[in-house]
Amino acid sequence: MRIAVTAFGCRLNQAEADAFAAGFAAAGWRVVDSSLDADVVVIHSCAVTRPAEQECLRLCRKLARRAPPPFVVLSGCLPEAADGAALAAAGVSLLIPRAGRDTLVARVTSACARPDAAAPADPANGGAPPLRRTRPLLKVQDGCDFFCAYCIVPHTRGAPVSKPFEACLREARALAAAGAREIVIVGCNAARYTDAGRGLPDLLRALAATPGLGRIRLGSVEPATIERALADLMAETPALCRQLHLPLQSGDDALLRAMGRRYTTADYRASVEYALSRVPDLGLGADIIAGFPGETDAQFENTLRFVASIPFSNLHVFPFSERPGTPAARLPGSIPAAVRKARAAALAAIGREQRLRFARSFIGRPVTCLVERIEADGAACGWSSAYLPCRIAGATPALLGEPITFTPTAVADDTLLQP
């Protein structure tokens, strides 16, 4: 039987979907890339926003219209956030709630009558499948208890839980042995990682010593947690990519309080200035919500000014989306959708200017790129440590998956070029 595993949303979802696919392959399934070619489709869903939920449901309904329809399995956050009857009406054959994720492969295998299947491999115990990505994802933590006003994740993912320290190291060694030269560390709230008194900086320091791994990249980290310790670690650890993503959400203190955030703009600025003092070429990312309920024109101008004053290199801007089940969905002062969209566009424009400025700062300076693909014209393409796309002419297929150091001579949009 052919099975496809499709992930929506965050890198954490992608990491879990990769683990599901590896488990199905180990159990004797034929894993295919396209849901259109599969007899069974696992949709690892996202419910962070209403548009994300609708995108997942559109795929369910599209699959239900196939003749014959595939067996559709829905996992991820949507089973915790949506009505089960509505999901069944969309064509879902099997729901896997949060508590059942660890047994997903076995439950799907049983539901589809595959008694011959072997037990799935467990990457956490050292068995790595063939790599599905040039930069595989290593899930080290799940769950969040910060309860920001706009976020459903603490309800869909539960309280923080961390993968054991040694299990993380075993999985990283297995990934390196399978050919990974960079791994991406992901978690629901990675700053909450802890195991036997050891936190995320301790884990990253140990992972950096993994033989065969060239780079370790960190996903999003909540502000006012461990960002200064991470900056110190980046300054002294070459294997740790020079990238730090600190979700900001607003540049207005009153809105930050309404959002339930745990810092002020002054706190955020101080953390950024410290990080930049320790890592001068740091790629600095942030998330911003435009049009949060009650956001006045003056508060939006505060955000515009604050964002323009910080040298961001990777800005993710989202118009506010009401997520049923969160306090923010019930707040008064809803902003018209057109205003949300216009404010998001203004912030995104600043982000594009900042990213181009950051990219241009690397012209004439050595940059190391991990090659993720070789194009038809022989150019090697990948990402720099600071998370800028790179394109180097005259490469050979042997460089695929390997780091290459080059000196950019030009920039096209945000891509570093060596013609």
**Gap between the Cα atoms of 20 and 26, Å rounded:** 10
**Gap between the Cα atoms of 38 and 54, Å rounded:** 22
pLDDT at 62 (0 to 100): 94
Contacts 24+ apart (CB under 8 A), 125-129: 125/167, 125/170, 126/170, 126/171, 126/173, 126/174, 127/26, 127/174, 128/22, 128/171, 128/174, 128/175, 128/177, 128/178, 129/21, 129/22, 129/25, 129/26, 129/178
Of 127, 226, 114, which Cα lies nearest the Cα of 171?
A: 127
Q: Which residues of the chain register pLDDT less than 70?
A: 114-130
pLDDT at 82 (0 to 100): 83
Of 407, 369, 360, which Cα lies nearest the Cα of 390?
A: 369
What is the identity of the amino acid at 213?
A: L
pLDDT at 49 (0 to 100): 87
pLDDT at 119 (0 to 100): 42
Q: Report whether 98 contacts 68 (CB < 8 A).
A: no
pLDDT at 125 (0 to 100): 44
Pull the structure tokens for residue 331: 């707040």
The per-residue pLDDT for range 38-52, each reduced to its tens digit, is 999 999 999 998 888
The per-residue pLDDT for range 356-373, each reduced to its tens digit, is 999 999 999 999 999 999
**Gap between the Cα atoms of 396 and 380, Å rounded:** 8
pLDDT at 401 (0 to 100): 86
**Gap between the Cα atoms of 304 and 292, Å rounded:** 14
Identify the H or E element spanning 285. strand 283-290
Peptide bond connecting 419 to the previous residue in cis, omega within 30 degrees of 0: no
| Coil vs helix vs strand at 254 | helix
Contacts of 68 (CB under 8 A, 6+ apart): none
| Coil vs helix vs strand at 293 | coil
Q: Report whether 205 contacts 226 (CB < 8 A).
A: no
What is the identity of the amino acid at 151?
A: C
The per-residue pLDDT for range 15-27, each reduced to its tens digit, is 999 999 999 999 9
pLDDT at 132 (0 to 100): 72
Contacts of 164 (CB under 8 A, 6+ apart): 195
Of 62, 28, 26, which Cα lies nearest the Cα of 43?
A: 62
**Gap between the Cα atoms of 57 and 84, Å rounded:** 12
